[in-house]
Structure 1
């Protein structure tokens, strides 16, 4: 059985034989809720590729200490997948983030599409983004990911168009400027002629998937994304919810790459 994972701010400089103390809410949940005990083996991750395996040597209500027996630096999975997720209504946004994290998305970009029912403004925007980030954090731990995904601030349609076009540093607005150029960008669209499975993918590159809202993409949005370099594709005859379409698309894409045992050249 895979060892449980707990997240720490940094593992820089940590080596086998060192002790690491985990504090705060992370430790409280482990000790009080999960009933972590002395002698239990677990892993610690910093979310940036470094994983330490060790044994618990001491516990308190809001702290526990781990004696590290091994440290592993894992490369970032390739190809990298960024998902632009139109804002769903209710709790479906957290569901989308959860499954996209579990399946291996590197970045999730919330998007205010024209037909998005949910609206992020002011304090609500800050709280909603915080919930998405907390959901990604917990899902990454559950999935035992060495590299945890980024959940970027809310993007406008103009910024998504720039991402599709591979523009680096999109004005700094919305935080999407940190995403670099992409090798393949796809837009999920039920009326598209080309099936997702027909795409030719690089073995090592950057993929971008745009997922529309419950009300569907507008003709203008599709036209702008395609003009910027994206390919409009369909998943199949079924029409999926926005909260599940992204995970289906990412799974279909990764199955064609070495990450999931697909193409090798």
Structure 2
């Protein structure tokens, strides 16, 4: 089983690095494309054993799965280039570009008779450390194909299969959401410096605290408020801090920030 990644930039490169760390693909089963010889050389060092090409058509020739990981505004030209050489009877096309629905992808592929098997996949940047929250939607795919694509991205973190209408909301919660979580980490770490820790120590404390909070919820299945109640005591410093954050609009700021992404 072979896979081609068209566009080994930030996300495509992270997917490739994640797949190398997994067990489903050997490096020699992965092909990536880059725009220039200089980028090809750099990727060869970052992705040992992976075939790096500059020709997109050559890259997809032997692939069973073709991941298109380019900026949305480049998707039409890339699919127009690949359409004549793609074999929809055996190849599965996976789009990682946000905001482009299946109907538009089909038009870019100039589909006339054969209906392609397509997937839209929304990972986040934690894919590189095998901790992505990834959403997948399918079009004209068999159960076996859905399970295979799910297996591929399960190598890179947690996967949820959803219907296409939910993709925009999923992008906000997971792909944008990782930046929002990091903004909290940055703010808390800055407070840690005011509280007397070095910047490096403060960041480490906050990062492990957030990681622990997430693991606690994932493993217990509890609502966050259940765990919050365990650390808030009468007259305690935790409830004072929580109330001060709410007085500054913490919850409403988070909700409004997420909702602003979809306007």
Shared fold by TM > 0.5? no
Q: Under a length normalisation based on structure 1, what TM-score does the superposition of the two structures give?
A: 0.27
Q: Under a length normalisation based on structure 2, what TM-score does the superposition of the two structures give?
A: 0.27
More strand by share: 1
Q: Which of the two has higher C-alpha Rg?
A: 2
Instruction: For CA contacts below 8 A with separation 6 or more, give which structure has more relative contact order.
Output: 1
More helix by share: 2
